[in-house]
Chain A
Amino acid sequence: DQQVKQNSPSLSVQEGRISILNCDYTNSMFDYFLWYKKYPAEGPTFLISISSIKDKNEDGRFTVFLNKSAKHLSLHIVPSQPGDSAVYFCAASGDTDKLIFGTGTRLQVFP
């Protein structure tokens, strides 16, 4: 069963607007969450993370929000740029050393 779910396989956003990528999880033991970005023919690269003791973490144009009661997190990109076009993976971890990844959302930012 998928413990980390990204229900939108793709998202298309105009340059300059906000991109919102969503992620849901089922395991209440998860206490650390990450977003990774992946370009074609490359490995995923770390983007931003959040601990369960926080509900928001911001890094430049990227902000991650965590709603523990809803078991939901989201990544906001403002403003979106064409170079943000990539696949974004949500990941979660709990009491082990491993990450559980979602299926990814392909973001396309058009001019």
Chain B
Amino acid sequence: DAGVIQSPRHEVTEMGQEVTLRCKPISGHDYLFWYRQTMMRGLELLIYFNNNVPIDDSGMPEDRFSAKMPNASFSTLKIQPSEPRDSAVYFCATTGGPTYEQYFGPGTRLTVT
């Protein structure tokens, strides 16, 4: 398996633009997590899905952020409109069951100018 795939790897956009980050989980993994990494707060959980259903979105910063998982092979994290404070590295991680050993993708580095 290729592991968790994220795209794009880097995204530079202007304030106010819509940004969409994508994640393809490991086949057979039914948990998917979206994280944001910043220097100040480390790795923050934004939202997670189980069997394509959002379970906990309490970490989503505000209504500008939304996430979907239309099927077991694909998830998106959307920011609209983007702001400079959204600049961070965003990770997707998956796991196959009642284990906490999550497998992370390589991340998307987002820069909002």
Contact = CB atoms under 8 A, between A and B. Distances in A.
Is B one of A's binding partners? yes
Nearest to A42: B106
Please classify the interface of chain A as helix (H, G, I), strand (E, B), loop, or mixed, using the class held by over half of its residues: loop
Contact of B106 (A41, A93, A104): A41
Interface in B61-113: 91, 93, 98, 100-107
Contacts of B45: 98-101
Contacts of A74: none
Contacts of B98: 97
Contacts of B48: 97-98
Interface residues of A, number: 24
25 contacts: A2-B41, A6-B42, A34-B100, A41-B106, A42-B106, A42-B107, A43-B4, A43-B91, A43-B104, A43-B107, A44-B91, A45-B104, A49-B100, A89-B42, A91-B100, A96-B56, A97-B31, A97-B50, A97-B98, A99-B33, A99-B45, A99-B100, A101-B42, A101-B45, A103-B42
